[in-house]
Amino acid sequence: GEDVEQSLFLSVREGDSSVINCTYTDSSSTYLYWYKQEPGAGLQLLTYIFSNMDMKQDQRLTVLLNKKDKHLSLRIADTQTGDSAIYFCAEMEGYSTLTFGKGTMLLVSP
């Protein structure tokens, strides 16, 4: 079955860039997503990328997709303490359900 892997923890200093990485196994993925979960809350979509794109930029967020290596990354520029959260990578196969990674906890220190 599909599998989505991501590192469990990342710690950065405020003002630095954060890069969260994700690998997936399903070559037929149509969309890939980054969701953010703040403490005590549900998940909220941060950004997504269609599988025929290589890059997507949205303000401080940059998503890079390497389809050959099945690697997805999320770069957060000028990371702020408010960016501290759990970040989930997810993929959609066809137009079916999403498969989520286990989440990366990002801790931003002042």
Q: Exposure string (b/e) for 87-105, b if CB count within 10 Å is 16 or more?
A: bbbbbbbeeeeebebebbe
Q: Which of 43, 53, 61, 64 binds another protein (CB under 8 A)?
A: 43
Cβ atoms of residues 73 and 18 within 8 Å: no
Contact status: 107 vs another protein (CB under 8 A) = no
Q: How far is CA 25 from CA 31, 53, 72, 77, in A?
A: 13, 17, 11, 27
Gap between the Cα atoms of 96 and 20, Å rounded:
25
Site residue total, another protein (CB under 8 A): 21
**Shortest spacing between CB 47 and another protein, in angstroms:** 10
Q: Which of 19, 41, 55, 77 binds another protein (CB under 8 A)?
A: 41
Contact status: 88 vs another protein (CB under 8 A) = yes
Residue whose CB is less far from another protein, 42 or 82: 42
Binding pattern for the stretch 5-34 against another protein, x by CB under 8 A and - elsewhere: ---x---------------------xx-x-
Q: How far is CA 7 from CA 51, 94, 106, in A?
A: 22, 25, 10
Choices 9-17, 51-59, 69-77, 96-104; region in contact with another protein by CB under 8 A: 96-104
